[in-house]
Amino acid sequence: MFCLLDTIFSGISAASSDLTLEGFSLCIAAALILGALLALVYTYKSVYTRSFAVTLAMLPAIVSVVIMMVNGSIGTGVAVAGTFSLVRFRSAPGTAKEIGSIFLAMAVGIACGMGYVGFAALFALIMCTVSFLYAKLGFGERKNVELCRKLCVTVPEDLDYGGIFDDLFTKFASETRLVKIKTTNLGSLNKLTYEIVLKKPGTEKNLIDQLRCRNGNLEVSCSMQAADSQEL
Other Cβ atoms less than 10 A from the Cβ of 114: the count is 22
Residues 103-148 have pLDDT tens digits of 899 889 888 888 888 899 999 999 999 998 988 887 777 667 778 8
User: Is the model more confident about 80 or about 201?
Assistant: 201
47 and 117 within one domain: yes
Structural domain tally of the chain? 2
Which neighbouring-strand residues pair with 175? Answer: 197
The answer to whether residues 78 and 178 belong to one domain is no
| 8-state DSSP, 226 | P
Q: What is the DSSP string of 105-157?
A: HHHHHHHHHTT-HHHHHHHHHHHHHHHHHHHHHTTT--TTGGGEEEEEEEEET
Kindly report whether the global pTM for this prediction surpasses the value 0.75. Answer: no
Per-residue pLDDT at 78: 62
* 98 and 187 co-located in one domain: no
| Same-domain pairing of 38 and 69 | yes
SS3 label, residue 80: helix
CATH number at residue 181: 3.30.70.380
Q: Do 171 and 95 reside in the same domain of the chain?
A: no
**What's the mean pLDDT in 89-109?**
77
Of the residues 83, 109, 137, the one at which a domain ends: 137
Are residues 133 and 150 located together in one domain of the fold? no
Q: Are residues 128 and 181 in the same domain?
A: no
Residue 122 burial (CB count, 10 A): 14
Burial code of 168-207, b = ≥16 C-beta within 10 A, e = fewer? bbeebbeebebeeeeeeeeeebbbbebbbbbeeeeebeeb
Q: Which domain holds residue 91?
A: 2-137
87 within domain boundaries? yes
Q: Which residues contact 52 (CB under 8 A, 6 or more apart)?
A: 98
Within this chain, do residues 151 and 122 fall inside the same structural domain, yes or no? Answer: no
Residue 40 within a domain: yes
What pLDDT sits at residue 88?
A: 46
The reported pLDDT for the residue numbered 138 is: 76
- Does residue 230 sit within a domain? no
123 shares its domain with 175 = no
Residue 229, in any domain of the structure: no
Distance from chain centroid for Cα 21: 36
Cα three-residue angle 125-131-135, rounded to 5 degrees: 145
- Above 50 in pLDDT, residue 89? no
Tell whether 175 is covered by a domain. Answer: yes
149 and 173 co-located in one domain: yes
Residue 232: inside a domain: no
Q: Which distant-in-sequence residues (6+ apart) come within 8 Å of 129 by Cβ?
A: none
